[in-house]
Amino acid sequence: MIVFRIARTKHAHDLTGEGARLNGGRWNHKLTPCIYAPESRALTLLEYSVNVSIDDIPGSMSITTIEIPDNILQPVVNALPRNWRDSPAPSTAKDFGTGLLTAATHPVIKLPSAIIPEEFNYILNPLHKDSKAFKIIAVSDFVYEMRIKGM
């Protein structure tokens, strides 16, 4: 399966999950590394856009195409915390995802997007024994369209 990630160019080849470890995310607490990689380029841009301020958009960006293994955990939506879509991301969602990541039963977790729940984000676990199966197959320059942020 193919997923995508937008990042600063200097981090385009990084599959350690260090950014999520340092900052946390919807499905992970700080100190828990993971890689957020949506299922399409468009969802990747949308997810990136809602999570960054206009002042923090770097001049040098890339979109990374990643091949992931088919060993994917997909929790049923009814198992997710009731408030998982809230903004900012609630601690219940962080607890849920961090629990799945630390259990490390699967290298990838498929979870719905809080923006478009019918589409999916893939949470890659760089600490899973099968994480070496994550394969970068392309890195391309990416120019952020400022009109998205109303500029």
Domain boundaries, the chain: 2-144
Label each residue of the chain as H, E or C: CEEEEEEEHHHCCCCCCHHHHHHCECCECCCCCCEEEECCHHHHHHHHHHCCCHHHCCCCEEEEEEECCCCEECCCHHHCCCCCCCCCCCHHHHHHHHHHHHHCCCCEEEEECCCCCCCEEEEECCCCCCHHHCEEEEEEEECCCHHHHCC
pLDDT band at 58 (very low <50, low <70, confident <90, very high): confident
What's the confidence (pLDDT) of residue 104? 93
Render pLDDT for 24-50 as a digit per residue (tens, 0 to 9): 999 999 999 999 999 999 999 999 999
**CA–CA dist 125, 62 (Å, integer):** 21
C-alpha neighbours within 13 Å on the C-beta side of residue 60: 4
Q: How much of the chain exceeds pLDDT 70, in percent? A: 99
The answer to whether 65 and 4 have CB atoms below 8 angstroms apart is yes
For residue 150, pLDDT over 90 is answered with no
Mean pLDDT of the chain: 95
For residue 69, pLDDT over 90 is answered with yes
Render pLDDT for 91-143 as a digit per residue (tens, 0 to 9): 999 999 999 999 999 999 999 999 999 999 999 999 999 999 999 999 999 99
pTM of the model: 0.94
What's the confidence (pLDDT) of residue 114? 97
For residue 59, pLDDT over 90 is answered with no
For residue 16, pLDDT over 90 is answered with yes
pLDDT band at 151 (very low <50, low <70, confident <90, very high): low
